[in-house]
Amino acid sequence: MSGTDVKVTVPMLYLLLTLVQGKSHGYAMGQEVARRSHDRVRLGPASLYWSVNKLREADLIREVDGPRDEGGRGRPRRYYEATPDGLRVLRDEMAVLEDVILFARDVALPDPE
């Protein structure tokens, strides 16, 4: 095992979070991220799958069978779900972010003039 780290980015956290709600396919994940982030995080089509690939490489998500009722329109979509590792990383990162938020409140971040 090479031991190289994967840098978990904010879009990747969003993508992981969408999968906590249940398995989903790439495009839907991207749409959900945009909605949930109020369009602050918009992943272009290629970036979306780049991040998906990163998450897969790090074994944070994995490909699963899609719902059976979706037939009838060409290529079946590929569905992903979060792995236990993914959920663990998500919890760890959230803990870090909570600390960041608490710190920010503590210093009473002033509004920019």
Partner 1 sequence: MTSLGDRCVPALSRVLIGLHPRWFRREYAADIRDAIAAELNATKSNQTTRGVLADLARNLGRVWMSTLQTGGSEREPVRGAGALATGGGGFRGLGHDVRGAVRGIVRRPATSAGAVLTLAVGIGLTAAMFSIVQGLAMRPLQVDEPERVVAVRRLDPRFGESGVVPIDFSAYDDLRTRQTSFAALAGWQGLSVNLADDLEPADAIGGLAVTTEFFDAIGLQPILGRAFAERDGAVGAEAVVVIAHDLWSGRFGADPDILGTSIRLDGTPTRVVGVMPEGFGFPWNSDVWKPLQLDRAELARGEGPRLFMVGRLASEVSETAAAAELTGLVGQFAEEHPDTDGGYERVLVREWTRDFLGSSGRQALFAMLLAVSMVLVLACANVANLLLVRAVQSTRELAVRAALGAGRHRLVRQALIDALVIAGLGALGGLGIAAAGSRWFTHTMESLSFGIPFYVDVSLDFGVGAFVVALAAISAVLSAVLPVLHVGRTDSHDVLRSGCRLGPSRTAGRAGRVLVVVQVAVAYSLLLGAAAFGGTLGELRSIALSFDPDEIFTGAITLPERDYAEPEARRQFYRALVERLESGAGLRAVSLASDLPVAGFGASTFGLAGEVYEARQAPRARLSAVSPSFLDVLDLVPLQGRSLSAADDETSPRVAVVTASFAQRYLESDPVGARIVLGPRSGETAAPEDEIEVVGVIPDIYADVPTPPLPREAVVVPLAQRPEAAVNVIARAGAEPLAAAAGVRDALTGLDPDLPLSAPMTLRDMLLQNNFFLEILGTLFGVFGAAALLLSAVGVYGVMAFSTGIRKHEGGVRIALGATRRQVSALMVRQGLWRVAFGVAAGFGIGFLLVSSLSAALRVGMPTAATFAVLAALLLGTGALGSWLPARRAAALDLVDTLSMD
Q: Which residues bind partner 1 (CB under 8 A)?
A: 1-10, 13, 26-27, 30, 44-50, 52-53, 56-60, 75, 77-78, 85, 89, 92-93, 95-97
Minimum CB separation of residue 6 from partner 1 in Å reads: 5
Minimum CB separation of residue 38 from partner 1 in Å reads: 17
Minimum CB separation of residue 113 from partner 1 in Å reads: 29
CA–CA dist 52, 78 (Å, integer) = 11
CA–CA dist 83, 73 (Å, integer) = 28
Measured from the CB atom, the residue of 67 and 97 that comes closer to partner 1 is 97
Q: Which residues on neighbouring strands pair with residue 93, listed in sequence order?
A: none
- Token representation of residue 56: 């897969």
Closest Cα to residue 81, out of 73, 90, 72? 90
